[in-house]
Amino acid sequence: MDRKEKKPKKRRWKFLRTGLKSDYNGYQWEIGKWETTECERLCEGFNCSNRIMDAMRYVSGEILAEVESSGKCFEDDSKSTHEKMRIVNAWNWRKEDSVELAIYAAEMVIHIFEDKNPSDDRPRKAIEAAKSWLAGKSNAYAYAAVDAAYDSTSNAAANAAAYAYAAAKAAYAAAKAAYANAAVDAENANAYAANAAAYAAYADKSVTDKIESWLRERVKKLKKYKG
């Protein structure tokens, strides 16, 4: 009897909280260990995403995990739910990673806003403020830049330029990723980075793959989670 070649299991992504726990119910994961749960419909089971940027939308976590799944599966465009899953790899995701992602996404689409509003440099200054934070040069001016960027989104919305509005929001999110509430820094930064990526992708769909490619490359630089 000829042996059937096994198809490689598809690997996906999910964000977890400190301690390798699920955000929704605190489920405790262990790297390499298969877990099984009830899975009868989308969202009721173990969830993950094909793209890292989609996984960020659902959980603002401190750990990025690469997962392997099998058994029952339900999926839509941005996530899937599985009966069986295990963590294959895990990395620490820092605030710095979120800020750099947000800046990258915002810079790719800021020209859309500036083309419609050539005299308004507030979103651009917000991006520069985020860069200053990364360079360890944050100051009081940066917070003013964040507020100004938010005001600029109102102008873009009033002008009914949806893509320009999204571009301005991406810049605002980049600055907020850097200057989020210190009490929940990493979590807020992750959420704002996800917003920046989403707004950038809305402003220009062609950047979606570039953002995901940036994230895949970023994984190579992350520190492995060791517990």
pLDDT grade, residue 148 (50/70/90)?
Answer: confident
Instruction: Decide if pLDDT at 183 tops 50.
Output: no
Over the stretch 95-137, which tens digit does the pLDDT of each residue have? 999 999 999 999 999 999 888 888 888 888 888 888 888 888 7
Q: Is 205 exposed, middle or buried (0-12, 13-18, 19+ CB in 10 A)?
A: exposed
Please give the Cα distance from 46 to 50 (Å, whole number): 13
Q: What is the rounded CA–CA span in Å between residue 115 and residue 110?
A: 9
- Nearest-angstrom CA–CA distance, 49 and 47: 7
**pLDDT at residue 138 in the model:** 67
Whether this model's pTM surpasses 0.75: yes
Beta-carbon neighbour count of residue 111 at 10 Å?
14
* 7 backbone φψ class: left, alpha, beta (φ>0; ψ -120 to 50): beta
Amino acid (1-letter code) at residue 156 = A
pLDDT given at position 2: 43
Q: How many CB atoms lie within 10 A of CB 217?
A: 9
